[in-house]
Amino acid sequence: MEGIPEELGSRLAKAESVAVLTGAGISAESGVPTFREAQTGLWARWHPEDLATPQAFQRNPRLVWDWYRWRRQLVRDVEPNSGHLALVELERRVSDFHLSTQNVDGLHRRAGSRNLSELHGNLFRDVCAYEGIDVDLPAADDELPPRCPRCGGPVRPGVVWFGEPLPRAELLEAESAAAGCDVYLLVGTSGLVQPAAGLPLSARRAGAYVVEINPETTALTESVHCSIRGLAGDVLVSLLERLG
Ligand code: OAD
């Protein structure tokens, strides 16, 4: 891994406000398959459009639920890693901190991050497909799709599917954090999916110092002030050490 650039170290040390956007890369070290890797094993013959769209759910809600239950189990079996924990510690040290994530695995929340916007929802939420509100299902509910206890309509996973808008409140929080921060960290995301990929650009326009942490070049590499090539866990832990 490259060292922490001098300028980033000093800007972070002075920063009153830090915002972060994470993607699948931060959970890679926990062993969570990325969206594309999740199309393996039993699920290799399905395309994301067969499983993660409102149309797929209408067509075959049982199939979609089987896939999400499988993904829930994958995530239940893993733990937050040093990258998630470093962001919890960074939140403790910076007076104004906001974390936006595109991940639906809930690992930031499990690690202890508090000021958090889950832009693509959360794998473990159950939402009434008719009313769009969270519901509590009985633990032993095996019906697929589960039924809303209020209206009897089908229940869906509380994630954002292809073609759906992001949750408004979360997106507004993420935009406001990007527009008001001194340093913006972009961790483990390919930067291909809008509107999340626009957040670092807004941060830069508003005057933030924008840093990418990723072992690979991404669609956003050209637009950031500085790229650190390394694994999220290693780099974030080094950042904290640099802060002292
Ligand atoms: P991607 O799978 O597109 O990209 C993962 C990124 O993480 C890549 O740029 C990798 O180089 C990087 N990476 C891998 N291992 C890493 C590590 N240990 N440390 C740091 N970086 C690492 O995932 P996202 O950018 O999160 O949307 O994808 C964004 C959205 O596209 C997802 O939320 C999902 C998907 O389609 C929806 O489902 C709506």
Give the pLDDT score at 84. Answer: 98
Q: By C-alpha distance, which of 110, 139, 137 is closest to 122?
A: 110
Query: Are the CB atoms for 19 and 176 separated by under 8 Å?
Result: no
Give the pLDDT score at 64. Answer: 94
The tens digit of pLDDT for each residue in 106-133 reads 999 999 999 999 999 999 999 999 999 9
> Is 120 a known active-site residue?
yes
pTM for the structure as a whole:
0.94
Q: Is the pLDDT of residue 36 over 90?
A: no
Residues near ligand 1 with C-beta < 6 Å?
23-25, 28-29, 34-36, 52, 102, 120, 160, 188-190, 192-193, 214-216, 218, 231-232
For residue 138, name the pLDDT band (cuts at 50, 70, 90): confident
Q: By C-alpha distance, which of 201, 231, 195, 234 is closest to 216?
A: 231
Higher pLDDT, 30 or 4: 30
Spatial separation of the C-alpha atoms in residues 135 and 130, rounded to whole Å: 12
The arithmetic mean of pLDDT across residues 223-241, rounded, is 97
Q: Which atom of ligand 1 is nearest to the CA of 83?
A: 19
Give the pLDDT score at 38. Answer: 59
For residue 139, name the pLDDT band (cuts at 50, 70, 90): confident
